[in-house]
């Protein structure tokens, strides 16, 4: 069940831990300095640059300035593949019809520009009884079930 | 052919429910058109010139008779009694209502069909060799690999918002009948040291900037096929251009990076992915292969064909193709009657083709990218009965690969992107050559017409290509020569200034006459063009 | 003159703004010069039309004729299927498009 944080009424989290309480910095300033534990990845950023520093990251925000720009799906997935366990939050133009794919790519929090209806969200996330691929979530692909 | 299990069925059923919900939200005003558009497109629903258009996926072009009947029923129940077979081996309906679209998807799901990812910036329907499983020259049937990739690419969570659309073709013979190297990824199943593997050609395409895909990997082991495709897509998703939709296809990325750099990036990604558990077990490929076993060909089927009827003999010579099983051929049903609309079929014709597929071809038919239908496995002894039935329904035109067998996109008669009409030009050209009697003499002459630069009519790959343009509000047609989509792939070149509608028909005949004058023994139009070059054609056209 | 066109949201049919509503027939279109954006915004918000846009047209035999061929094909139907156009009884109607 999603946890609707009290300070931010658009934030939806699928995590038990407390949200990071400070703002995310850009990838450049994160790499330059910093003591920050939260970073914001823009579509043109190379998320791989964060991989040497995953230990000190608690929040990665992946920005979707426009819902049609799908680079953030790859950014999320490659961070999970590299072992990132902290919060992975999709922010920006995040629509309800995209959250199921985003969950599969490893996102476990959403902070969309326009609030998502909780019932629409529940419907979208329970839509797919099965999945065809192995991805960054724990779901078992159909091919695995066929040959279990 | 492939049959759904409960998992496949659940997935298409879930998609129908999802789209029903999305369409309702649009009709209720909860989604704007901007938000709804990518969702409807990923279900093949366009807003076209006259109405909504629905593109239904026909994976690797293969249909059984029950499915073809369902397509006919949809044409009658929801459309205006016909459909249009496309250059991507799909079918399009032109007069669809949004309020009925989910019902159509539900009807399709009942026969293991769908419209998933037939548009949008995602991995589209996978195409293949229309003679797969029948061709005498194939290494193996390519369709199991296409099916494996179909499942992998369906609802792919990472690759559903790519920079641009993404088309994959899979073949398994040296003869290319699927325009493989003009796809975003073309895969050829090959053999190396007794092992099967996949050669990857990446970055081909037609459209505004036509390119022939370079081979980036000559052998990917079959148990790494999906992982390698995933690596190719991830590099594209991350680095493909998104600043300009006309430069967003993977061909531009491969061109700008250089194929060596692109390949290096893919190989690095591939190496990282190997431990991610992306690849289905080999047993899954084995399971899929069991659906593509040879049908029970009759041993010792007769090689004899009674050629006493000259019309029938001509059709046999033109429209049947050698088969791997003795006594069998693949028979091509032409959807190119003289003066007709290329690729269109009425619901009655679809039903007849379905029944004939059931009666004569082990319940199977194929859609060709040339907008014809194949019955892949027909006994030679049955050909006359088949031809008689086809001929009676206007489906017996003996014109495969001739100048009358024209590929044409819907053009400005139906398409909101088009600049000029394609179909009337195709109609007038086929009428011209049927009247002047040159069709037979010209032999193989692949003529392809697009109504705009997006090249759905494959004009770059025509021996003769025609591109419709808008010249100050008037339809104008450019002539191209020398293209090929086959294993001798090449891109056609523009002859010079364009023509009006009457002028382009004359120009095609002029070009054909140059060939007839200049050809040497055994040369096709394309061979002559390649030998003598553009100049003699230009002199005849503009001199 | 400027006329306003779009598609019906439910059926997808091509429609033309008549001043009071939306018609399937371009002959019913009225000049909306100056107010096209306001009408388009209002009608789209009310979901009485989908993807509306204004085009140039001229009066031809007393009825608006779109200036561009694409809109003339939209107004008529596919020229290669006269039976499916809005004027199936007129064999020469395809010439109106050109």
Question: Do B225 and B89 have their domain in common?
Answer: no
Give the Å distances, CA to CA, from C6 to B31, B85, B528: 18, 27, 49
Contact B237 A74 (CB under 8 A): yes
Residue B332 forms part of a structural domain: yes
Chain B interface, Cβ < 8 Å to C = 26-27, 29, 33, 47-52, 80, 94-99, 341, 412-414, 416, 418, 421, 423-424, 427, 470, 473-475
Question: Do B284 and B314 have their domain in common?
Answer: no
Hunting for tokens 């990251």 — which residue is that? A57
- Six-digit token pair at B334? 């032409």
Kindly state the DSSP code that residue B200 receives in the 8-state scheme: E
Query: Is residue A50 less than 8 Å (CB to CB) from chain B?
Result: no
Q: Say how many CA atoms lie within 13 Å of B21 toward its Cβ.
A: 14
Hunting for tokens 């076209």 — which residue is that? B48
The answer to whether residues B401 and B486 touch, using CB atoms and an 8 Å cutoff, is no
**How would DSSP label each residue in B7-70?**
HHHHHHHHHHHHHHHHHHHHHTTSS-HHHHHHHHHTTTEEE-SSSEEEEEB-GGGEEEHHHHHH
Give the Å distances, CA to CA, from C66 to B475, C4, C29, C60, C95: 16, 10, 10, 9, 14
Q: What domain count does chain B have?
A: 4
Res. A3: pLDDT tops 80: no
Average pLDDT, chain B: 97
Question: Do B429 and B533 have their domain in common?
Answer: yes
Res. A1: pLDDT tops 50: no
Hunting for tokens 């088309």 — which residue is that? B167
Question: Do B419 and B535 have their domain in common?
Answer: yes
CA distance B426 to B431: 9
Residues B347-383: pLDDT tens digits? 999 999 999 999 999 999 999 999 999 999 999 999 9
Number of H helices, E strands in chain B: 17, 20
**C21-36 burial by CB neighbour count: b if 16+ within 10 A, else e?**
ebbeebebbbebeeeb
CA distance A75 to A69: 12
Interface A–B counts its CB contacts (< 8 A) at 100
Residue B493 forms part of a structural domain: yes
Residues linked to residue A97 through DSSP beta bridges, in sequence order: none
Do A and C make contact, counting contact as 3+ CB pairs within 8 angstroms? no
Residue B225 forms part of a structural domain: yes
- Six-digit token pair at B54? 């629905």
Question: Do B273 and B387 have their domain in common?
Answer: no
The answer to whether residues B439 and B399 touch, using CB atoms and an 8 Å cutoff, is yes
Chain C interface, Cβ < 8 Å to B = 7, 9-14, 44, 47, 50-51, 67-70, 73-74, 77-81, 84
How confident is the model over B98-104, as a mean pLDDT? 98
Q: What is the 3-state secondary structure (H, E, C) of B86-144?
A: CCCCCEEEEEECHHHHHHHHHHHHHCCCECCCCCCCCECCCEECCCCCCECCCCCCCHH
Question: Do B534 and B411 have their domain in common?
Answer: yes
Question: Do B321 and B371 have their domain in common?
Answer: yes
> For an interface test with B, which of A65, A73, A144 has the most B Cβ atoms less than 10 Å from its Cβ?
A73
Report the chain A residue with the minimal C-alpha distance to residue B279.
A134
Residue B199 forms part of a structural domain: yes
Question: Do B320 and B376 have their domain in common?
Answer: yes
Res. B71: pLDDT tops 90: yes
A125 interaction partners in chain B (CB closer than 8 Å):
none
Res. A4: pLDDT tops 60: no
Question: Do B183 and B102 have their domain in common?
Answer: no
What is the nearest CA distance from A57 to chain B, expressed in angstroms? 22
How confident is the model over C37-64, as a mean pLDDT? 96
Q: Which of B391, B416, B445 is the last residue before a domain boundary?
A: B391
Contact C73 B412 (CB under 8 A): yes
Do A and B make contact, counting contact as 3+ CB pairs within 8 angstroms? yes
CB atoms inside a 10 Å sphere around CB B35: 18
The model's confidence at residue A7, banded by pLDDT at 50, 70 and 90, is: low
Residue B401 forms part of a structural domain: no
Give the Å distances, CA to CA, from A137 to A77, B227, B522: 9, 17, 59
Question: Do B105 and B206 have their domain in common?
Answer: no
A128 interaction partners in chain B (CB closer than 8 Å):
11, 14, 155
- Which SS3 state, helix, strand or coil, does residue B443 take? coil
- Six-digit token pair at A120? 């629409």
Res. A8: pLDDT tops 80: no
CA nearest neighbour of B60 among B155, B162, B180: B180
Question: Do B146 and B284 have their domain in common?
Answer: yes
- Which SS3 state, helix, strand or coil, does residue B259 take? helix
**How would DSSP label each residue in A87-129?**
EEEEEES--GGGHHHHHHTT--EEEESSPPPHHHHHHHHTS-S
φ, ψ of residue B488 to 5 degrees: the values are: -95, 45
Could you tell me which residues come within 8 angstroms of residue A127 by beta carbon, excluding any fewer than 6 positions away?
A100, B14, B17, B18
The answer to whether residues B79 and B95 touch, using CB atoms and an 8 Å cutoff, is yes
Which CATH number characterizes residue B442's domain? Answer: 3.30.413.10
Could you tell me which residues come within 8 angstroms of residue B406 by beta carbon, excluding any fewer than 6 positions away?
B336, B342, B426, B429, B430, B447, B448, B449
Residue B133 forms part of a structural domain: no
pLDDT value, residue A22? 85
- Six-digit token pair at B419? 């600049």
CA distance B54 to B48: 9
The answer to whether residues A109 and A129 touch, using CB atoms and an 8 Å cutoff, is no
Residues linked to residue B478 through DSSP beta bridges, in sequence order: B467
CA distance B89 to B167: 12
Residues B306-334: pLDDT tens digits? 999 999 999 999 999 999 999 999 999 99
Give the Å distances, CA to CA, from A141 to A146, B2, B89, B515, C6: 9, 19, 28, 56, 43
Residues A77-101: pLDDT tens digits? 999 999 999 999 999 999 999 999 9
pLDDT value, residue B397? 97
pLDDT value, residue B59? 97
Query: Is residue A43 less than 8 Å (CB to CB) from chain B?
Result: yes
Res. B144: pLDDT tops 90: yes
Residues A26-73: pLDDT tens digits? 999 999 977 899 999 999 999 999 999 999 999 999 999 999 999 999
Q: By residue range, what is the domain housing residue C62?
A: 2-97
Kindly state the DSSP code that residue A83 receives in the 8-state scheme: T
* ipTM of the shown complex: 0.96
Q: By residue range, what is the domain housing residue B469?
A: 407-542
Q: What domain count does chain C have?
A: 1
pLDDT value, residue A35? 84
Res. B203: pLDDT tops 80: yes
Query: Closest partner residue to B18 among A105, A127, A131, by Cβ?
Result: A127
Q: Give the pairing type, strands A59-64 and A38-41.
A: parallel
Res. B414: pLDDT tops 90: yes
- Six-digit token pair at A53? 């520093």
The answer to whether residues B425 and B509 touch, using CB atoms and an 8 Å cutoff, is no
CA-based torsion, B390, C80, B56, B173: positive or negative: positive
Q: Say how many CA atoms lie within 13 Å of A106 toward its Cβ.
A: 25
Burial class (CB in 10 A: 0-12, 13-18, 19+), C78: buried
How confident is the model over B397-420, as a mean pLDDT? 97
What stretches of B320-363 show up as alpha helix (H) in DSSP? 347-360
Question: Do B212 and B326 have their domain in common?
Answer: no
What is the nearest CA distance from B274 to chain A, expressed in angstroms? 11
CA distance B79 to B82: 7
Could you tell me which residues come within 8 angstroms of residue B27 by beta carbon, excluding any fewer than 6 positions away?
B98, B99, C9, C10, C47
Kindly state the DSSP code that residue B395 receives in the 8-state scheme: -
CA nearest neighbour of B406 among B451, B465, B487: B465
Give the Å distances, CA to CA, from A106 to A15, B123, C47: 12, 21, 37
Do B and C make contact, counting contact as 3+ CB pairs within 8 angstroms? yes
B121 interaction partners in chain A (CB closer than 8 Å):
68, 70
Largest CA distance in chain C: 39
């Amino acid at each position: 069940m999603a946890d609707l944080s009290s300070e931010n009424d658009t934030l939806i989290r699928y995590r038990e831990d407390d949200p990071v309480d400070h703002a995310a910095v850009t990838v450049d300033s994160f790499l330059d300095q910093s003591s920050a534990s939260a970073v914001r990845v823009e579509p043109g950023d190379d998320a791989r640059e964060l991989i040497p520093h995953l230990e000190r990251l608690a929040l990665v925000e992946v920005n979707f300035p426009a819902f049609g720009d799908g680079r953030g799906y790859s950014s999320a997935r490659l961070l999970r593949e590299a072992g990132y366990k902290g919060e992975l939050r999709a922010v920006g133009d995040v629509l309800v019809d995209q959250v199921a794919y985003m969950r599969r790519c490893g996102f476990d929090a959403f902070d969309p520009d326009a609030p998502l209806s909780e019932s629409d969200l529940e419907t979208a996330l329970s839509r797919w009884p099965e999945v065809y691929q192995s991805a960054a979530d724990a779901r078992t692909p159909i091919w695995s079930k066929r040959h279990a | 052919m492939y049959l759904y299990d409960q998992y496949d069925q659940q997935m298409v059923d879930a998609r129908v429910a999802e789209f029903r919900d999305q369409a309702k939200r649009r009709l209720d005003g909860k989604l704007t058109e901007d938000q709804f558009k990518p969702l409807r497109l990923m279900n093949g629903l366009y807003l076209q010139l006259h109405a909504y258009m629905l593109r239904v996926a026909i994976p690797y072009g293969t249909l059984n008779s029950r499915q073809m009947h369902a397509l006919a029923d949809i044409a009658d129940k929801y459309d205006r009694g016909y459909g249009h077979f496309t250059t991507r081996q799909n079918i399009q309906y032109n007069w669809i209502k949004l309020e009925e679209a989910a019902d159509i998807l539900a009807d399709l799901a009942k026969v293991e069909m769908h419209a998933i990812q037939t548009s949008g910036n995602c991995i589209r329907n996978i195409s293949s060799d229309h003679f797969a499983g029948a061709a005498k020259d194939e290494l193996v049937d390519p369709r199991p690999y296409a099916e494996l990739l179909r499942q992998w690419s369906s609802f792919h969570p990472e690759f559903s918002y790519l920079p641009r659309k993404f088309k994959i073709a899979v073949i398994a013979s040296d003869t290319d009948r699927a325009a493989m190297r003009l796809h975003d990824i073309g895969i050829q199943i090959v053999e190396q040291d007794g092992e099967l593997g996949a050669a990857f050609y990446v970055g081909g395409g037609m459209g505004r900037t036509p390119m022939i895909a370079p081979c980036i990997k000559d052998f990917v082991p079959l148990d790494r096929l999906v992982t390698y495709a995933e690596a190719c897509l991830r590099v594209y998703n991350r680095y493909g251009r998104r600043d300009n939709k006309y430069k967003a296809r993977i061909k531009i990325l491969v061109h700008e990076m250089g194929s060596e750099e692109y390949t290096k990036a893919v190989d690095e990604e591939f190496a990282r992915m190997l431990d991610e558990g992306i690849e289905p077990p080999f047993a899954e490929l084995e399971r899929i292969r069991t659906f593509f076993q040879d049908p029970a060909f009759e041993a010792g089927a007769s090689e004899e064909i009674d050629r006493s009827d000259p019309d029938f003999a001509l059709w046999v010579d033109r429209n049947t193709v050698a088969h791997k099983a003795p006594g069998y051929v693949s028979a091509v049903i032409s959807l190119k009657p003289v003066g007709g609309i290329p690729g269109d079929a009425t619901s009655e014709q679809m039903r007849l083709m379905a029944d004939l597929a059931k009666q004569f071809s082990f319940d199977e038919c194929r859609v060709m990218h040339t907008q014809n239908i194949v019955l892949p496995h027909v006994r030679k002894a049955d050909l006359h009965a088949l031809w008689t039935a086809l001929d009676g329904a206007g489906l017996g035109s003996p014109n495969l690969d001739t100048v009358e067998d024209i590929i044409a996109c819907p053009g400005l008669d139906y398409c909101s992107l088009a600049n000029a009409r394609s179909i009337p030009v195709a109609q007038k050209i086929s009428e011209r050559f049927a009247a002047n009697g040159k069709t037979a003499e010209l032999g193989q002459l692949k003529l392809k017409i697009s109504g705009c630069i997006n090249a759905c009519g494959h004009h770059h790959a025509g021996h003769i290509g025609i591109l419709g343009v808008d010249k100050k509000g008037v339809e104008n047609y450019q002539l191209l020569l020398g293209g090929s989509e086959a294993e001798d792939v090449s891109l056609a070149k523009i002859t010079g200034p364009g023509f009006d509608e009457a002028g382009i028909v004359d120009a095609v005949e002029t070009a054909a006459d140059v060939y007839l004058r200049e050809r040497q023994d055994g040369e096709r139009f394309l061979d002559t063009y390649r030998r003598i070059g553009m100049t003699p054609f230009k002199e005849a056209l503009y001199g | 003159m400027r006329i306003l066109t779009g598609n019906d949201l439910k059926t997808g049919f091509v429609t033309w703004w008549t001043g009071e509503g939306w018609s399937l027939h371009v002959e019913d279109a009225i000049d909306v010069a100056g107010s096209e954006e306001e009408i388009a915004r209002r009608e789209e918000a009310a979901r009485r039309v989908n993807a509306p846009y204004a085009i140039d047209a001229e009066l031809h035999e007393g009825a608006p004729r779109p200036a561009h061929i694409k809109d003339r094909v939209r107004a008529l139907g596919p020229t290669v299927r006269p039976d499916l156009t809005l004027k199936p009884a007129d064999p020469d109607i395809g010439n109106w498009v050109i």
